[in-house]
């Protein structure tokens, strides 16, 4: 992780804005960056047409969410990271090493399902606990779209399994359940945000 990124996270919170709210915005920006870049790769490299259609939907949906988040961050004085987290970058690099049906399966598992599980949990927490009313409203408004993305991702996995592109046993991410955050998604640790609300958010 670069010194620049650490400095950005450490100063991410705007004056008067709860540090937990700022941390949510940082993680949401990272999630959007990961979804968009992974889906752009899928649009060019996926074998299955359903995967490509899903990827196009994710590019459009997360790009729109990112634009809304940037406007909110500017209004709140929050410096958002320019790219995804280190762990997300490692996942993307691993995904880019796959081809054919294996790539389709990995995209469905790691992006369509696992990443959206993480995002749903992140937004659920902010929708319930954000201190700033506009930050809370952003989380509440974005949550239905993320849940829809997750539902579509699960349907995509079933489609791949039914078409012989992936077996159900292979394609289920270990321990994945809607609204569960994977350890790899936890970036911008609260220790870098002085005065954060005790326990880290998902």
Residue 162's CATH number? 1.20.1260.10
Residues sharing a CB contact under 8 Å with residue 128, sequence separation 6 or more, in sequence order: none
Asked, for residue 185, whether it belongs to a domain, the answer is no
Q: Distances from the Cα of 7 to the Cαs of 3, 4, 47, 72, in angstroms?
A: 6, 5, 40, 20
For the segment 185-201, the average pLDDT, to the nearest whole number, is: 43
Q: Distances from the Cα of 153 to the Cαs of 19, 59, 168, 198, in angstroms?
A: 32, 14, 13, 33
What is the distance between the alpha carbons of residues 85 and 188, in angstroms, rounded to a whole number? 8
pTM: 0.76
What is the distance between the alpha carbons of residues 100 and 85, in angstroms, rounded to a whole number? 26
Structural domain of residue 25, as residue ranges? 3-177
What is the distance between the alpha carbons of residues 202 and 200, in angstroms, rounded to a whole number? 6
Asked, for residue 119, whether it belongs to a domain, the answer is yes
Question: Which tens digits make up the pLDDT trace of 66-90?
Answer: 999 999 999 999 999 999 999 999 9
For the segment 10-32, the average pLDDT, to the nearest whole number, is: 84
Asked, for residue 67, whether it belongs to a domain, the answer is yes
Question: Which tens digits make up the pLDDT trace of 152-186?
Answer: 999 999 999 998 744 444 444 544 554 444 434 44
Considering its fold, how many domains does the chain have in total? Answer: 1
């Amino acid at each position: 992780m670069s010194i620049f990124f650490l400095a950005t996270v450490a100063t991410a919170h705007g004056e008067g804005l709860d540090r937990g709210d700022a941390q949510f915005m940082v993680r949401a920006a990272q999630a959007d960056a990961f979804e968009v870049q992974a889906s752009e790769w899928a649009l060019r490299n996926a074998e299955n047409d359903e995967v490509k259609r899903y990827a196009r939907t994710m590019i459009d949906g997360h790009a729109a969410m990112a634009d809304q988040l940037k406007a909110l961050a500017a209004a709140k004085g929050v410096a958002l990271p320019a790219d995804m987290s280190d762990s997300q970058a490692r996942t993307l690099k691993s995904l880019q090493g796959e081809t054919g049906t294996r790539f389709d399966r990995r995209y469905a598992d790691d992006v369509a399902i696992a990443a959206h599980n993480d995002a749903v949990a992140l937004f659920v927490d902010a929708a319930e606990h954000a201190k700033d009313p506009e930050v809370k409203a952003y989380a509440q408004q974005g949550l239905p779209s993320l849940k829809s993305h997750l539902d579509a991702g699960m349907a995509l996995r079933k489609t791949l399994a039914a078409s012989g592109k992936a077996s159900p046993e292979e394609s289920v991410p270990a321990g994945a359940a809607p609204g569960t955050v994977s350890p790899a998604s936890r970036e911008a640790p609260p220790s870098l945000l002085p005065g954060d609300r005790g326990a880290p958010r998902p």
